[in-house]
């Protein structure tokens, strides 16, 4: 198929049909996505902030409650009371009733000497004068320590309170169960990766971190910390491995510990991803639908336009052919008419010569001889050939002008060989063997000799053209068969072993103006005129053909009613 | 019986001369004219029975000539000689009073045959006229005299 002349138009239609809806779709999806993600992000961050605030509040109240428990003891008892191991034991039990977090309790004098102790360790008599917490509590009055190892070599932290009683200074200290405290801090769970932990001012873990980070180790990540008064800071930062996390940090009120709540960004914003997936899917499906529809519609439009073009072209072609044919007819008619006059003269001359010769012979002035015979024959030939010319002009005139056919009975048994003779030379030149099988029972038909000749010549010439296309100069075979068919009909069959006709062309072969020959080589009228002639004579014309094998044209004509004489 | 006298009218000189010779050889009395005007001119001075008239001629064409002949000499038989393309004019000619037509190129035999037929027809017609005149003679010889004189 030739290239469509609408290539550019097709691209324009296709582009606009795709781009306009696609741009709209993408714009809508984009805006939707933007607002959705923004609101989702801010709500996620708000949630994290709220969680960190709640958690801080809980941890703060835990610490302040423990401090209050201790303060109560401090105010209720004197140093002497507490120096009694029995009393201290009771006190510890009461404390532990308040909270399981209390591991032990100890009483210290002004010098940092462990005066009394109740708990799982043996710490009485140990000197804490140089311990950091002791110095802190002596200066501040109340102190919550970072997690440290101490004499027991186990991570723990303590709450210590100082009391001045009648000039005597003493310190009450309680250890908090780190295990329990750990659980309390860690208890936050958000999504899959959400976790909470505490860091001291130096960035050392005060509680374990679920995703790795042991007690008392330094947090390898440098975190942004809010100033103590600004409260909560939420941000996104990468961990040591480079994975982005959503962080929320805040300082505790009771102790300079930093509460960190963090969650993997992907986890925190997983709904965002879901939204993104949905939008991508919608965009792909919608885009696909748009592109598909655009392709489909564009193809239809272009195909329709091409078809209209083809039809218009075909119509134009037919008109041109028809007018060309009309011109040709006019020209041929004029030509034939002009030829007729000289032919008339020639005919007269020949008749005169004939007449003179006859006279001279009759008078005896010319003796019969071989030369004379030759002369007579020659003159005869001139008459015959002028007759042939006359017939040609007649047939041209017939072509140019629908004249009344001269109807007569035609004996096909002699007529067919006559016509065959006309193409004998052509067949011979092209190495085509021309065979005739004419049955004796072939009845005469009633029709116009010129028209019948036209039909047969047309079939012969077509057959020879087909043979030449397949065989070239040898191997061609053209067979003419004729005989009596059914219902007193005569049939004439023209068989060739040429290239044959394909099925598509076969359907249109008798259509006027249909030709497979290159433009200008055939009018496409030959077979349709033949068909018309045969049809007018009350006959039929059919064709069977196999591409590459050859064709068979069969004409049936009604036998003449007047019998078989001519 | 009177001999048939023919006149050939055609613009093709050689056709005229050759056909004339042929017809003369066959023993016919033949006149020729190269145009319609000449034909009418010769009819004035010669007693022609059958005119073979070409349809297509320069100047005064066949049909015009035919009409003129029929107007002046209604008894003259005219045979139209037509080319194939002028069958319509042949029909027109027949309607305008031509006896018959011949298709070009024509055989001399056909020409002679049709001319003879036309002549025979004229003979019959003249016979009838003679009978009519003979009957009329008894009534008014003067009229008859006048009529014959007028011819």
Question: How many helices and strands, by DSSP H and E, does chain B display?
Answer: 6, 5
Beta strand pairing call for A550-558 and A489-496: antiparallel
Which residues contact residue A349 at a Cβ distance below 8 angstroms, ignoring those fewer than 6 apart?
B14, B18
Model confidence pLDDT, tens digit, residues A312-357: 887 776 666 556 656 666 677 777 777 888 888 898 899 889 888 8
**What per-residue confidence (pLDDT) applies to A93?**
92
Cis bond upstream, residue A408 (ω within 30): no
Angle at A355 between CA A349 and CA A357, to 5 degrees: 105
Cβ separation of B22 and A348 shorter than 8 Å? yes
Provide long-range contacts, Cβ within 8 A and 24+ apart, for A74-83.
A74/A161, A74/A163, A74/A172, A75/A163, A78/A165, A79/A107, A79/A109, A79/A163, A79/A165, A79/A168, A79/A170, A82/A107, A82/A116, A82/A172, A83/A107, A83/A115, A83/A116
Lowest mean per-residue pLDDT among A367-371, B30-34, B50-54? A367-371
Closest CA to A301 of A2, A59, A16, A58: A16
Contacts with B85 from chain A: Cβ below 8 Å: 333-334, 336-337, 397, 400-401
The residue range of the domain holding A422 is 404-558
What is the secondary structure of A265-285 as a DSSP string?
Answer: HHHHTHHHHHHHHHHHHHHHH
Asked if A388 reaches chain B (Cβ–Cβ under 8 Å), the answer is no
8 A C-beta contact, residue A551 and residue A543: yes
Distance from CA of B84 to the nearest CA of A (A): 7
Q: Among the residues of A132-255, which ranges form H helices?
A: 132-140, 178-186
Contacts with B25 from chain A: Cβ below 8 Å: 352, 355-356, 359
Which residues contact residue A26 at a Cβ distance below 8 angstroms, ignoring those fewer than 6 apart?
A283
| A393 and A510 together in one domain | no
> Does pLDDT of B89 surpass 90?
no
Q: What's the ipTM?
A: 0.73
| A346 and A380 together in one domain | yes
Contacts with B13 from chain A: Cβ below 8 Å: none
Of the three residues A385, A402, A419, the one that is the final residue of a domain is A402
**What per-residue confidence (pLDDT) applies to A529?**
74
Cβ separation of A346 and B105 shorter than 8 Å? yes
Q: Which two tokens stand for residue A430?
A: 């092209």
**What per-residue confidence (pLDDT) applies to A105?**
92
Could you tell me if residue A520 is inside a domain? yes
How many domains, in total, are found in chain A? Answer: 2
Phi, psi angles (nearest 5°) of residue B31: -115, 155
Could you tell me if residue A443 is inside a domain? yes
8 A C-beta contact, residue A161 and residue A74: yes
Of the three residues A372, A402, A432, the one that is the final residue of a domain is A402
Distances A143 to A64, A100, A133, A158, A311 between C-alpha atoms, Å: 11, 20, 7, 8, 102
| A306 and A386 together in one domain | yes
Phi, psi angles (nearest 5°) of residue B137: -55, -40
| A337 and A348 together in one domain | yes
| A415 and A382 together in one domain | no
What is the SS3 assignment for A164?
Answer: strand
Could you tell me if residue A420 is inside a domain? yes
Asked if A359 reaches chain B (Cβ–Cβ under 8 Å), the answer is yes
Could you tell me if residue A304 is inside a domain? yes
Which residues between 230 and 249 in chain A have a beta carbon less than 8 angstroms from any beta carbon of chain B?
none
| A411 and A545 together in one domain | yes
Phi, psi angles (nearest 5°) of residue A174: -130, 145
**What per-residue confidence (pLDDT) applies to A228?**
67
Contacts with A358 from chain B: Cβ below 8 Å: none
Which residues contact residue B62 at a Cβ distance below 8 angstroms, ignoring those fewer than 6 apart?
B9, B36, B53, B54, B55, B56, B80, B81, B82, B89, B93
Residue A84, judged by CB atoms within 10 A of its CB (0-12, 13-18, 19+), counts as: middle
Per-residue confidence in pLDDT tens, chain A, 566 aa? 445 678 888 889 889 988 999 899 999 999 988 998 889 888 888 988 999 999 999 999 999 999 999 999 989 998 888 889 999 999 999 899 988 889 999 999 988 889 899 988 888 888 888 888 999 999 998 999 999 888 888 888 999 999 988 888 999 999 998 888 988 898 877 888 889 999 988 889 999 888 888 888 888 887 777 776 668 888 888 888 888 888 999 999 888 899 999 988 888 888 888 888 888 999 899 999 999 999 999 999 989 988 888 888 877 766 665 566 566 666 777 777 778 888 888 988 998 898 888 888 888 887 888 888 888 899 999 988 888 888 777 766 655 555 556 788 889 898 999 888 888 888 888 888 889 999 988 899 988 887 888 889 889 988 988 898 888 778 889 999 999 888 888 999 999 998 888 888 887 787 766 777 765 455 566 777 787 778 778 888 888 888 888 899 999 999 887 544 43
- What mean pLDDT value characterizes chain B? 84
For residue A503, give the H/E element and its range. Answer: helix A503-508
Provide long-range contacts, Cβ within 8 A and 24+ apart, for A538-541.
A539/A445, A539/A489, A541/A510
- Give the best residue of A330, A342, A345 to mutate against chain B (max B CB count within 10 A): A345
Phi, psi angles (nearest 5°) of residue A33: -65, -45
User: What distance in Å separates the CA atoms of residue A546 and residue A502, rounded to the nearest whole number?
Assistant: 7
Asked if B24 reaches chain A (Cβ–Cβ under 8 Å), the answer is no
Give all strands of the β-sheet with B77-82 in edge-to-edge order. B29-33, B5-9, B50-54, B77-82, B100-103
- Which DSSP letter does residue A218 get? B
Could you tell me if residue B75 is inside a domain? yes
CB pairs under 8 A between A and B: 62
User: What distance in Å separates the CA atoms of residue A109 and residue A129, rounded to the nearest whole number?
Assistant: 10
Could you tell me if residue B135 is inside a domain? no
Of the three residues A369, A402, A435, the one that is the final residue of a domain is A402
**What per-residue confidence (pLDDT) applies to B56?**
82
Could you tell me if residue A279 is inside a domain? no
| A413 and A464 together in one domain | yes
8 A C-beta contact, residue A184 and residue A162: no
Contacts with B21 from chain A: Cβ below 8 Å: 352
Could you tell me if residue B138 is inside a domain? no
8 A C-beta contact, residue A273 and residue A254: no
Could you tell me if residue B148 is inside a domain? no
Name the band, by pLDDT with cuts 50, 70 and 90, for residue B84.
Answer: low
**What per-residue confidence (pLDDT) applies to A566?**
38
Question: If you average pLDDT over residues B26-44, what whole number do you get?
Answer: 92
User: What distance in Å separates the CA atoms of residue A286 and residue A281, rounded to the nearest whole number?
Assistant: 8
Q: Residue A485: which CATH number?
A: 3.30.565.10
User: What distance in Å separates the CA atoms of residue A429 and residue B69, rounded to the nearest whole number?
Assistant: 56
8 A C-beta contact, residue A110 and residue A169: yes
| A421 and A363 together in one domain | no
Q: Which residue of B has its CA nearest to A335?
A: B85
């Amino acid at each position: 198929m030739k290239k469509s002349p609408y290539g550019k138009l097709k691209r324009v239609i296709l582009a606009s049909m795709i781009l306009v809806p696609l741009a709209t779709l993408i714009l809508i999806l984009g805006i939707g996505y933007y607002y959705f993600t923004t609101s989702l992000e801010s709500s996620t961050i708000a949630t994290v902030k709220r969680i960190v605030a709640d958690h801080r509040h809980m941890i703060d109240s835990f610490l302040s409650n423990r401090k209050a428990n201790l303060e109560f003891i401090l105010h209720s008892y004197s140093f002497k009371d507490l120096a009694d191991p029995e009393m201290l034991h009771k006190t510890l039990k009461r404390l532990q009733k308040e909270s399981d977090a209390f591991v032990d309790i100890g009483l210290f004098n002004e010098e940092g000497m462990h005066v009394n102790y109740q708990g799982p360790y043996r710490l009485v008599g140990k000197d804490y004068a140089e311990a950091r917490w002791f110095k802190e509590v002596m200066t501040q009055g109340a102190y919550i320590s970072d997690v440290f190892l101490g004499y027991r070599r186990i991570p723990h932290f303590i709450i210590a309170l100082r009391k001045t009683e009648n000039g005597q200074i003493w310190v009450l200290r309680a250890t908090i169960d780190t295990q329990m405290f750990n659980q309390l801090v860690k208890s936050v769970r958000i999504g899959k990766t959400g976790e909470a932990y505490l860091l001291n001012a130096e960035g050392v873990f005060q509680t374990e971190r679920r995703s790795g980070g042991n007690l008392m180790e330094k947090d390898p990540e440098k975190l942004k910390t809010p100033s103590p008064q600004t409260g909560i800071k939420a941000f996104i930062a990468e961990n040591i491995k480079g994975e982005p996390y959503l962080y929320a940090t805040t300082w505790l009120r009771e102790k300079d510990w930093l509460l960190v709540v963090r969650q993997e960004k992907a986890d925190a914003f997983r709904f965002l991803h879901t939204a993104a997936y949905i939008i991508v899917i919608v965009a792909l499906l919608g885009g696909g639908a748009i592109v598909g529809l655009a392709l489909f519609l564009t193809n239809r439009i272009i195909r329709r336009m091409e078809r209209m073009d083809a039809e218009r072209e075909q119509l134009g072609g037919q008109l041109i052919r028809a007018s060309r044919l009309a011109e040709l007819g006019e020209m041929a008619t004029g030509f034939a008419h002009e030829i007729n006059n000289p032919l008339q003269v020639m005919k007269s001359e020949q008749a005169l010569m004939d007449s003179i010769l006859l006279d001279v012979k009759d008078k005896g002035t010319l003796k019969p001889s071989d030369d004379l015979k030759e002369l007579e024959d020659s003159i005869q030939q001139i008459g015959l050939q002028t007759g042939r010319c006359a017939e040609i002009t007649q047939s041209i005139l017939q072509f140019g002008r629908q004249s009344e056919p001269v109807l007569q009975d035609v004996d096909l048994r002699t007529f067919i060989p006559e016509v065959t003779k006309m193409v004998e030379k052509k067949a011979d030149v092209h190495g085509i063997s021309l065979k005739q099988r004419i049955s004796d029972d072939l009845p005469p038909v009633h029709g116009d000799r010129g028209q019948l000749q036209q039909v047969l010549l047309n079939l012969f010439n077509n057959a020879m053209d087909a043979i030449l296309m397949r065989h070239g100069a040898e191997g061609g075979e053209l067979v003419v068969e004729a005989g009596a068919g059914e219902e007193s009909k005569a049939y004439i069959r023209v068989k060739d072993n040429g290239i044959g006709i394909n099925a598509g062309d076969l359907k249109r072969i008798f259509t006027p103006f249909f030709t497979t020959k290159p433009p200008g080589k055939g009018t496409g009228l030959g077979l349709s005129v033949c068909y018309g002639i045969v049809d007018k004579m009350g006959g039929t014309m059919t064709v069977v053909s196999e591409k590459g094998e050859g064709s068979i044209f069969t004409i049936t004509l009604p036998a003449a009613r007047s019998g078989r004489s001519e | 019986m009177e001999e048939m006298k023919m006149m050939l009218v055609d613009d093709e000189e050689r056709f005229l001369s050759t056909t004339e010779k042929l017809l003369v050889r066959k023993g016919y009395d033949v006149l020729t004219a190269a145009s319609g005007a000449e034909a009418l001119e010769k009819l004035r001075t010669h007693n022609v029975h059958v005119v073979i008239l070409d349809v297509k001629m320069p100047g005064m064409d066949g049909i015009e000539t035919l009409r003129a002949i029929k107007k002046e000499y209604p008894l003259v038989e005219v045979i139209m000689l037509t080319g194939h393309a002028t069958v319509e004019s042949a029909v027109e000619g027949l309607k305008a009073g031509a006896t018959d037509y011949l298709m070009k190129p024509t055989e001399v035999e056909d020409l002679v045959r049709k001319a003879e037929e036309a002549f025979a027809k004229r003979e019959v017609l003249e016979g009838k006229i003679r009978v009519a005149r003979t009957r009329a003679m008894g009534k008014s010889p003067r009229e008859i005299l006048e009529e014959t004189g007028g011819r």
